[in-house]
Amino acid sequence: MRERIMQFVFLLCACFSVAAVLLICLFLFANGLPAIQEIGLWDFLSGTQWKPSGNIYGIFPMIVGSLYVTAGAILTGVPIGILTAVFFVKYCPQKLYRVMKPAVNLLAGIPSIIYGFFGLMVLVPGVQKVFGTSGKGILTASLLLGIMILPTVINTAESALRAVPASYYEGALALGATREQSIIRVMLPAAGSGILSGVVLGIGRAVGETMAVVMIAGNQAVVPNSILSGVRTMTANIVLEMAYAAQLHRGALIATAVVLFVFILLINLSFSAIKKGRTI
């Protein structure tokens, strides 16, 4: 009887999670699709102007901005995160590990607004000094998001590397491989699925980040022409204008959330397909 009760509790929790996702989808599509239909799908996705006062709603600059910032965060955070995980697993002394591991975990608990202040007070002046620009743009946002996704990538990659049987590493050493060759050619490929999961979670964090990006990205609804240009992401576009939006303007913002939702869904499906191919 106890097992049946717990089975029912677990099933209820699983159904609640699925129901929550379905309700979110229902709300987004029910409120966003009518706006897309009124504006026009092609005009909405490919339009380069966002002027709510003139009923012009084109989110192409925001799509490009989100892609650029996310790609920059991946290029910044993923290599550092994976190499840090390798250091923790194979090189880090135990005394140092007891200090560095809590520090990495602490990064995950820092609020986004604190990251935004750090970027505004440290990264923006640094970019200003080096490049002679306003300091707010794709480069600054990418660097900050790269720091923000580090805990996710490091912890997931470390868990995946520790799950690799020790015989893989020892066997490579026994066959004459160096320590670095054993790690790069044996351990990392064996832990590839887990590392890939961490990358997906990091991308989700980078794509969905709002407050920190709003503070340092420049918030210019134009297609950027360089990595130093100001940019507005889809999440920033929603949070900046939802407070006063009404009617079609509000529907266009919810439609932007629909595009963001589909964008994240496609990323997850793509990485799932890659992961499945690696497993096969």
Asked whether residue 213 is domain-assigned, the answer is: yes
Strands 56-57 and 50-51: antiparallel
Residue type, 229: S
CA distances from 194 to 76, 148, 161, 173, 277 (A): 19, 19, 8, 23, 14
Q: Tell me which residue has tokens 């969905």.
A: 208
Residue type, 173: L
**What CATH number corresponds to the domain at position 115?**
1.10.3720.10
Residues 83 and 183: their CA atoms lie apart, in Å, by: 11
Q: Which has the closest alpha carbon to 251: 65, 23, 25, 28? A: 28
Asked whether residue 244 is domain-assigned, the answer is: yes
Residue 249 is part of which domain span?
A: 62-279
- The pLDDT of residue 280 is 42
Mean pLDDT by 10 residues, the chain (280 residues): 88 92 89 88 88 88 91 92 93 91 89 90 91 87 92 92 90 88 90 87 85 87 87 89 86 91 84 65
SS3 per residue for the chain = CHHHHHHHHHHHHHHHHHHHHHHHHHHHHHHHHHHHHHHCHHHHHHCCCEEHHHCEECCHHHHHHHHHHHHHHHHHHHHHHHHHHHHHHHHCCHHHHHHHHHHHHHHHHCCHHHHHHHHHHHHHHHHHHHHCCCCCCHHHHHHHHHHHCHHHHHHHHHHHHHCCCHHHHHHHHHCCCCHHHHHHHHHHHHCHHHHHHHHHHHHHHHHHCCHHHHHHCECCCCCCCCCCCCECCHHHHHHHHCCCCCCHHHHHHHHHHHHHHHHHHHHHHHHHHHHHHHHC
CA distances from 164 to 50, 135, 190 (A): 50, 43, 7
Phi, psi at 164, each rounded to 5°: -70, 130
In angstroms, how far is the first alpha carbon of the chain from the final one? Answer: 40
Asked whether residue 83 is domain-assigned, the answer is: yes
Asked whether residue 76 is domain-assigned, the answer is: yes
Task: Quote the Cα angle for 223-224-225, to 5°.
Answer: 120
Reported pTM:
0.86
Asked whether residue 232 is domain-assigned, the answer is: yes
Please count the structural domains in the chain: 1
Asked whether residue 201 is domain-assigned, the answer is: yes
Residues 232 and 59: their CA atoms lie apart, in Å, by: 10
* Contact between 76 and 146 (Cβ < 8 Å): yes
Asked whether residue 112 is domain-assigned, the answer is: yes
Asked whether residue 262 is domain-assigned, the answer is: yes
- The pLDDT of residue 87 is 94
